[in-house]
Amino acid sequence: MNLKVQNNKAWFLVLPVLLLVAFSAVIPLMTVVNYSVQDIFDNSRVYVGTEWYREVLNDPRLQASLIRQFIFSGSVLLIEIPLGILVALMMPTKGRMASLCLVVLAMPLLIPWNVVGTIWQIFGRADIGLMGAFLNGIGVNYNYASNPTDAWFTVLLMDVWHWTSLVALLCYSGLRAIPDAYYQAAKIDQASAWAVFRYIQLPKLRNVLVIGVLLRFMDSFMIYAEPFVLTGGGPGNSTTFLSQTLTKMAIGQFDLGPAAAFSLVYFLIVLLVSWLFFTTITHLDNKK
């Protein structure tokens, strides 16, 4: 690690980024804060204080989708992080096969999110989709449109398909950074494959995994387009995640005030979890 020099002139280098991001971030955020404390009624606005916040926090529909959201994000992280590491470990390291693997792996990441939903919508259909027809062919009564378990299974599988590659690509480039000398030393010590992974590879993957976990948490917690296209939130409300509930509220019912209050609460939850994760990791670092 390089030692950093104290220099407040560095602000000039950061200024373009600050202005650029602030332009799109601050005014909309202020507007939303404004909505969240007012009752907007035709053209008159009444200050209502924390009323919308209280209403939103006591809404059982929101509580239900919040729980669903945590279960979803938790499962996504539990599946995708280990699987991504495993895939990165199995990937060929050089030659044409490595390039080919990289390109195929990156493909799901580069498909617009609503198209991802569409692909799985067709793929899972029992009459015209490969997966749906196959599952029904081997005797599983699979139908993601009417069975909540199947719907969950499909949404999870879709997310694993869509995003595990991100973790794998990050870990792959992290693994490439380990000098050969480390492996040779391990060989001399006759270390087992597990020991090599635990004491050489995993510590070196730490930083890319921090990026991976944070990105996957944020994106999975705000997932919208894919399940919306695939299941429309159904059957019933079984796959209605938080952002879909929010959208229904904001656009479907024109409840701008509660919707704004809700999105700020939503924002704070993501912020809090990310911050906790971030500080825990840095704290553990400083201890070492």
Partner 1 sequence: MNKRKIIGISIYIFFIALPIYWLVMMSFKSNEEILGSLTYWPQNFSFDNYITIFSDPSWYMGYVNSMIYVIMNVIITLLTALPAAYAFSRYRFLGDKPLFFWLLTNKMAPPAVFLLPFFQLYSSVGLFDTHIAVALAHCLFSVPLAVWILEGFMSGVPTEIDETAYIDGYSFPHFFIKIFIPMIRSAIGVTAFFSFMFSWVELLMARTLTSIHAKPIGAIMTRTIGGEGVDWGLLAAAGVLTIIPGCLVVWFVRNHIAKGFALGRV
Q: Which helix (H) or strand (E) holds 38?
A: strand 38-41
Per rule CB under 8 A, count of chain residues that contact partner 1: 100
Please name the helix (run of DSSP H) or strand (run of DSSP E) that holds residue 287, with its range, or none: helix 256-287
Residue 156 binds to partner 1 (criterion: CB under 8 A): no
Question: Which parts of 138-255 fold into alpha helices (H)?
Answer: 148-175, 180-188, 193-196, 202-221, 225-230, 242-247
Q: Which residue, 91 or 152, has its beta carbon nearer to partner 1?
A: 91
Alpha-carbon distance 9 to 32, whole Å?
A: 33
Most distant CA pair in the chain: distance in Å?
Answer: 78
Q: Which stretch binds partner 1 (CB under 8 A): 60-68, 70-78, 138-146, 252-260?
A: 252-260
Phi-psi region of 190 (alpha: psi -120 to 50; beta: other; left: phi over 0): left
Tell me whether residue 70 or residue 224 sits nearer to partner 1 (CB atom).
224
> How many C-beta atoms surround the C-beta of residue 283 within 10 A?
9
Choose the binding region for partner 1 from 10-18, 44-52, 72-80, 139-147 (rule: CB under 8 A). 10-18
Fill in the DSSP letter of residue 248: I
Residue 46 or 103 having the CB closest to partner 1:
103
Q: Is 114 in the site for partner 1 (CB under 8 A)?
A: yes
C-alpha separations of 247 from 90, 221, 230 in Å: 40, 14, 16
- Taking a C-beta distance cutoff of 8 angstroms, is the pair 102, 88 a contact? no
Q: 108 or 148: whose CB is closer to partner 1?
A: 108
Q: Which position among 75, 118, 143, 238 is part of the footprint of partner 1 (CB under 8 A)?
A: 118
Pick from 50, 52, 127, 151 the residue near partner 1 by CB under 8 A.
127
Q: Contact with partner 1 (CB under 8 A): which of 50, 63, 99, 146?
A: 99
- Of the listed pieces 58-66, 70-78, 114-122, 146-154, which binds partner 1 according to CB under 8 A? 114-122
We find the least distance from the C-beta atom of residue 224 to partner 1, in angstroms, to be 7
Q: How far is the CB of 58 from partner 1 (least distance, A)?
A: 19
Residue 204 touches partner 1, criterion: CB under 8 A? yes
Identity of the residue, 18 or 71, whose beta carbon is nearer to partner 1 in the bound complex: 18
CB of residue 262 to partner 1, shortest distance in Å: 8
Contact status, residue 110 vs residue 241, Cβ threshold 8 Å = no
Residues 52-91 that bind partner 1 (CB under 8 A): 86-87, 89-91
Q: Which residues make Cβ contacts (< 8 Å) with residue 49, sequence separation at least 6?
A: 37
